[in-house]
Amino acid sequence: MKKIFFKGAFYSLLIVLVLELVIRGFHLTKDYPIRIIDKNQVEKWKPNQNGYSVTGNRRQNFSEFRINNSGFNSYREFTPSKEKKEIALVGDSYIEGFHQDYRFSIGNKIEKQLTGFEVYEYAYAGYDFADELNLISKYKDKFNLIDYVFIDLKFNTDLQRGVYAVIPDRMNLETPFYRNLRKFKLLVYLNSIGVTGDLKTRFRELIALKIKPDITPSNENKLKEVDEINPKYLANFNTLVETYNFDKSRFVLLLEKRNTPNAFKNYLKANNFKFIDLSSDLEKSKTPTTLIYDSHWNDKGRSIVANAIVKYTRQLEFNY
């Protein structure tokens, strides 16, 4: 009996070692760039880093990212001036697009169609509306030079707070403990494909004597939830807009039906906010517009988003 335990432990260790080597060798898991909080109290990536982002168990998406001098993922540096035409895209991971090669970002797709424009992607995974407006406010010397600012807004997730503050949970990921854990690529891989999350959830359920696992609500239910406007979120929106002097002439919101209720769109219309609803263009696509294992836009989806921004910018330019 003892022999089985010792042999089992020895074999398990060897297998862990082999898996670690395979994951490193085939680069099956993503690199983590370093986060910082800069002197303006803005959370972003440490400038000038490179790495690879991987999505899916079998490297279904493999792309290089490049953090520029400003601390954002982009193929270019951000140097706005009065002489040039510029667009800023402010948002979360959807705009940031670690899952796509930085050379083919949304910004790049826009620049190819809008000659003479430079596009700056001020995006960071996890940003909500408070983060976004705080960023614009803290870097107002730069943003005042930019002609159009497109801000990604997911009503159901980005308006949970009405006041900006640094989120300590995210920064905890930069403690030595987490940094050392991330050195074990097998662990990072297991985490990214959902194994550790599933195990943790099931452990918690078993400890709470829940015999049957929780069933997550279907997408249909989620859509139903989306159609109801949350008064707290609307109040947060108004507070943030007032606090940061939201410039209705230059700022355009990017919305999607799957996370924004119709009532909110009507509210925006009534109050003269500019916005683009990306849903209709995304839904028209015959091929998938999101990645395999998450809801981020894939290359097709990002092209559609870029086209929508180009179309809207042309209208703005024409009206101007």
Report the nearest approach of another protein to the CB of residue 165 (Å): 32
Q: Which residues of 24-57 are buried (b: 16+ CB within 10 A; e: fewer)?
A: eeeebbbbebebeeeeeebbbbeeebeeebbbbe
Report the nearest approach of another protein to the CB of residue 171 (Å): 27
Q: Which of 298, 306, 310, 313 binds another protein (CB under 8 A)?
A: 298
Q: Which residues of 142-158 are buried (b: 16+ CB within 10 A; e: fewer)?
A: bbeebbbbbbbbbbbeb
| Calpha distance 217→38 (Å, rounded) | 39
Based on the shown chain and the rule CB under 8 A, indicate whether residue 223 belongs to the binding site for another protein: no
Based on the shown chain and the rule CB under 8 A, indicate whether residue 292 belongs to the binding site for another protein: yes
DSSP for residue 49: E
Based on the shown chain and the rule CB under 8 A, indicate whether residue 94 belongs to the binding site for another protein: no
Site string for another protein, 185-214 (x = CB under 8 A): ----xx--xxx-xxx--xx--x----x---
Q: Identify which of residues 1 and 270 has a Cβ nearer to another protein in the complex.
A: 1
Site string for another protein, 55-74 (x = CB under 8 A): --xx-x--------------
Measure CA 91 to chain center.
Answer: 7
Integer angstrom CA distances of residue 309 from 86, 165, 246, 281? 13, 30, 19, 11
Q: Which of 230, 279, 290, 307 binds another protein (CB under 8 A)?
A: 290
Report the nearest approach of another protein to the CB of residue 214 (Å): 13
Report the nearest approach of another protein to the CB of residue 272 (Å): 38
* Tokens 């359920």 -> residue: 205
Contact yes or no for 121/107 (Cβ under 8 A)? yes
* Tokens 């209709």 -> residue: 280
Residues that bind another protein (CB under 8 A): 1, 3-4, 8, 11, 14-15, 18-19, 22, 57-58, 60, 189-190, 193-195, 197-199, 202-203, 206, 211, 287-288, 290-293, 298
